[in-house]
Structure 1
Amino acid sequence: MPGVDASYGISKFADNIGCLSPDLLSGTCQHILTYLQGKSSGVDSAEISDSFLSAGVSFDHDTLQNMIRFLLLTFRSAAKNNLSAKDLVARLEEGSSRWSKASLQVMHKLWSDQGALVHAQQEIQATLSIGQIVDIQWKLGMAVSADSCRSLNSPYVCLLLRTVDLSGQIWRRSFEMTIPQFQNFHKQFKEMAAVLETV
């Protein structure tokens, strides 16, 4: 299986995933499989973290992120190679002997039920390999302090973009623009939308 961080080790993933109850693992995998089937815009690690905390399971941020990436890459690789549930479990067992029986049963069941749907969606996405904007928020502000005096009392627009990359991770980007820059940005978005409607 493709590694997320080779130094982290597949046995460590097996141990951490083995700490999860079958229901918690199933819920976590379901988040990922829903994304891989194109039914959600990304994998929300904050929501997964909240479900872990509610169940009394606490992992540090990096451990949780690595676990999510590992599961994402595992399912994506299984879809790319069109693996059966039996083959998926066999590959996991080849990577480490420390997988719990319960974890492997959950993975087998979910992949038996949803593997074909993930495979079909991954083939479609392979032809449309682009990221996606999930949300845009903006607010109008007024600069009251700055390094240069001439920019004081100037209005500006602060944009917050949420995007999902090809790996499924949701990223937040924020930046500020002057009013003319924002108007130009808005004009370009309208032009792109008009072009996309003709496709």
Structure 2
Amino acid sequence: MPTGEDSQGVTKVVESISQLSPDLLADACQHILFYLSGQTRGVESAHISDRFQRAGVRLDHDVLQNIVRFLLLTFRSAGKSNLSADNLVSKLEEGSNKWPKASLQVMHKLWSEHGALVHAQQEVQAMLSISQLVDLQWKLCMAVSSDTCRSLNSPYVCLLLKIIEPSGQICQRSFEMTIPQFQNFHKQLKEMATVMETV
């Protein structure tokens, strides 16, 4: 049972969703459902934001992120519980009485089409809930000033990793390595690639 604060949060998200036309809501939901059914590698909030802006809907970044998180959680939870489209709509109505009828119809239709695929994918992901590396970029840099480093003008490597977390959100992580550390890292990657070729 949601607490008063939780239900207020749901109501705010639902009020934000109610600003969307059925077509925009369907587009956002499909983007998320394609990810949850294993057809895409992640949920690009930037894609959803661009689509909204082209349609003239301007939402604050946090509001958009809350909508994406809510839809991800809703569909993922419905997939794990193997809910029917009717049961999903009932749960949404229980969570908030602010749902527009047109929005519930969109959710019902899309869940009828994608629910079984999402359920199957959720069962697979339950066994494999780890992050995935999508992209790795590196650049050679030079330290020119530092409060703590004694040896300036020494080269280092800056790595940027793009990772899909189990939640579906794409995040970036960056860190720095000395040249010997990077050479060792490169050697380990080559060894892993060799081992994977034999599998």
Could you tell me the TM-score, scaled by structure 1's length? Answer: 0.91
Q: Which residue of 2 aligns with 1:115?
A: 115
Q: Which residue of 2 aligns with 1:129?
A: 129
Q: CA, structure 1 residues 182+8, in 2 after alignment: closer, same or farther (shift >3 Å)?
A: farther
Tell me whether 54-63 or 127-136 shows the greater mean CA deviation.
54-63
SS at match of 1:122: helix
Q: In the alignment, is the contact (CA less than 8 A) between 1:37 and 1:121 conserved in 2? A: yes
Task: In structure 2, give the amino acid aligned to 1:192.
Answer: M
Tell me whether 44-53 or 157-166 shows the greater mean CA deviation.
44-53
Task: In structure 1, give the amino acid aligned to 2:54.
Answer: S
Q: Hey, which bits of structure 1, 4+ residues long, moved more than 6 A?
A: none
Q: Deviations over 1:11-69 (max 9, x none)?
A: 22221111101111011011111111112221111121111111111221111111110
Q: Deviations over 1:142-195 (max 9, x none)?
A: 222233574222111111101111111111111111111111111222233334
Q: How many equivalent pairs are there?
A: 198
1:51 aligns with 2:51: yes
SS at match of 1:6: helix
Q: Deviations over 1:79-125 (max 9, x none)?
A: 00001111111111111111111101111111111111111111111
SS at match of 1:94: helix
Q: In the alignment, is the contact (CA less than 8 A) between 1:2 and 1:74 conserved in 2? A: no
Q: Which residue of 1 aligns with 2:67?
A: 67
Q: Which residue of 2 aligns with 1:186?
A: 186
Q: Which residue of 2 aligns with 1:39?
A: 39
Q: In the alignment, is the contact (CA less than 8 A) between 1:22 and 1:103 conserved in 2? A: yes
C-alpha RMSD of the superposition = 2.0
Could you tell me the TM-score, scaled by structure 2's length? Answer: 0.91
Matches of 1:77 and 1:154, distance apart in 2: 50
| Deviation for aligned residue 1:7 | 6.3
Q: In the alignment, is the contact (CA less than 8 A) between 2:142 and 2:154 conserved in 1? A: yes
Q: CA, structure 1 residues 6+187, in 2 after alignment: closer, same or farther (shift >3 Å)?
A: farther
Residue correspondence of structure 1 range 148-163 to structure 2 within 5 A: 150-163=150-163
